[in-house]
Amino acid sequence: MKKTAKRPPARRRAASDPTLDALLALFHDNGGDRPDGLMKGYPNPRRIVEALQLFLDVIIPGKFDTALVDRKPLAAFLKEKMAKGAALLEPEIARALPLRWKGEAACVEGKVCPKHLDVKKEAACIIAAFRTRLPEVRRLVIEDIKAAYRGDPAALTYAEVKLAYPGLIAVVTHRLAHELYKLNVPVVPRMMSEWTHSRTGVDINPGARIGEGFFIDHATGVVIGETTEIGNNVKIYQGVTLGARSFSLDENGNPIKHIKRHPTVEDNVVIYANATILGGDTVIGQGSIIGGNVFLMESVPPNSFVATKHPELHIKSGNKK
């Protein structure tokens, strides 16, 4: 008797999931820079943070790995950290580079991909250039450490500044991210600064230009915008904002990019807690002191003292009803 082949069991139709269907409709997967775009091919945040920590250990050896500093000669320690950091960072830079011409602002400005560009080779060149800038970053950070020690009577050792001051890690991260910003690396510098922002409460845009001997005391709540320029030996306290006023729009209602929007702070300025200074035309003259809670949208000449009028206080005795 001839055996008949068994038919495979019919596949059950998957049950409809209205929530899943509604979610899928809110994602667009065309590889472009869209608010509803899927983040495929984007730089990996975890790897960028790992690379950043390795380079932070190059600039301040032992910041994240004191045991290895004790075990290895300094040259071997630095070489290993730089090699590992570069190996992690280079492919993430390659992933970010297409945003130079695919990013929304770049599209508005009419930018296109350069002919014959090899993003992997470009990323390798960027890493090589970044590596050559590390000695200058280290030099600047030494001055930042000195400034923190001189600027805070509570600091009893340089070790305390290096190990425990949140403002220092924010500044060191900024100095590394700023070098990548100058090399025209999209997104990655901002991802570095935002990791530090979440740890310290200090938000420094990678584009800000900061001179040597910079000290942020107490750190929390500080905001420094992209086009801010800060001179040498400047000290600021918690809650300070160096921000922008309302910004200009083009004929299509898009914000105009690449213009000076944030203040200039000259050498040897002190800005006390919760001061807010706004505007690209605002210049704080060298040697000036800006008092706490000041709100300022105009320039001040060198060696000025700016303060708000002290509010009237009313103190009631606890014995009086």
pLDDT tops 90 at residue 105: no
**276 DSSP β-pair partners:** 241, 295
DSSP 115-148: TT--HHHHHHHHHHHHHHTHHHHHHHHHHHHHHH
| 241 has pLDDT over 60 | yes
pTM for the model: 0.90
Dump the DSSP string for 228-258: -EE-SS-EEETT-EEE--SPPB-TTSPBPPS
Cα–Cα–Cα angle for 147, 59, 167, rounded to 5 degrees = 40
Percent of the chain with pLDDT over 90: 73
Task: State pLDDT tens for residues 45-95.
Answer: 999 999 999 999 999 998 887 777 888 899 999 999 999 999 999 999 999
DSSP code of residue 217: E
Q: Which two tokens stand for residue 56?
A: 């932070």
Reported as a single tens digit per residue, the pLDDT across 171-222 is: 999 999 999 999 999 999 999 999 999 999 999 999 999 999 999 999 999 9
User: What is the mean pLDDT of the segment spanning 144-169?
Assistant: 97
At residue 312, the pLDDT reads 81
Q: What is the predicted pLDDT for the residue at 14?
A: 66
